[in-house]
Chains A and B, each alone.
Chain A
Amino acid sequence: EVQLVESGGGLVQPGGSLRLSCAASGFTFSSYAMSWVRQAPGKGLEWVSAISGSGGSTYYADSVKGRFTISRDNSKNTLYLQMNSLRAEDTAVYYCAKRRLGGIAVAGPQDYWGQGTLVTVSS
């Protein structure tokens, strides 16, 4: 059974940093591109970042480019999101999600999602 479990969320002050983790199990983690998608309270979904299965290719939404860094440790089956220079508008539930198909491609829909971790940026 595919499982994605996020952790690392919490309350942080504006300008602060936080690192989110997503522990994956039930599939060959290194074979799948992964994404982070966020949802501000009461709002819709916003794609944040994606990474290829090997970790060699990374992509970011303009809203987080230069502040967030996505990475993965395939030996630990874990996805990360390092978030720096956090702003109030980064407050959201952050979901990690698995690409539906494996392989070298990154684009595509996500078929499994974690339950999310809440990040609150406030003084």
Chain B
Amino acid sequence: EIVLTQSPGTLSLSPGERATLSCRASQSVSSSYLAWYQQKPGQAPRLLIYGASSRATGIPDRFSGSGSGTDFTLTISRLEPEDFAVYYCQQYGSSPPTWTFGQGTKVEIK
């Protein structure tokens, strides 16, 4: 079973700053099978990035994903007030289909 470890646990930043979130896998993950989600309190998760670097429909271009192998990154170029939330990475396997989430990174207002 692949374990995803996200860091840091909490990121304290101001609006307008750049946020860099890390997701490290316990073994190599196909880039095609890595996604990022945003979740705000009391809301369902929202798909941001799939295939490690492709933005989902309607996602602003300040969100970008990168990485390969065991190290993946979500970058928010300039934080907007609505971006303060918890972010999860997700890995999905296909044989058989399974999904694993990281423990989350909270981006909070400094």
**A residues whose Cβ falls under 8 Å from a Cβ of B:** 33, 35, 37, 44-47, 50, 59, 61, 95, 97, 100, 105-111, 113-116
How many residues from B make CB contacts under 8 Å with A?
26
Known: A45-B88, A114-B44. A109 touches B98 (CB 8 A): no
Neighbouring A residues of B93 by C-beta, 8 Å: 107
Q: Could you list 11 examples of A-B contacts with CB < 8 Å? A: A33-B97, A35-B99, A45-B101, A47-B100, A59-B97, A100-B47, A100-B50, A105-B94, A107-B33, A109-B35, A115-B44
CB pair B98–A47 under 8 Å, yes or no, is: yes
CB < 8 Å A-B pair total? 63
Main secondary structure of the interface of B (DSSP, over half): strand
B60 interfacial contact with A, CB 8 Å:
no
User: A47-B100, A50-B97 given as contacts; is B56 within 8 A of A100 (CB)?
Assistant: yes
- Assembled-state Cα–Cα distance A106/B92 (Å): 10
CB <8 Å contact, A109 and B101:
no
6 smallest CB-CB distances across A and B, nearest first, come from: A47-B99, A113-B44, A109-B35, A107-B97, A107-B94, A45-B101
B96 near A59 with CB under 8 A, answer: yes
B45 and A59 contact, CB distance less than 8 A: no
Among A50, A61, A100, A113, contact of B45 (Cβ-Cβ < 8 Å): A113
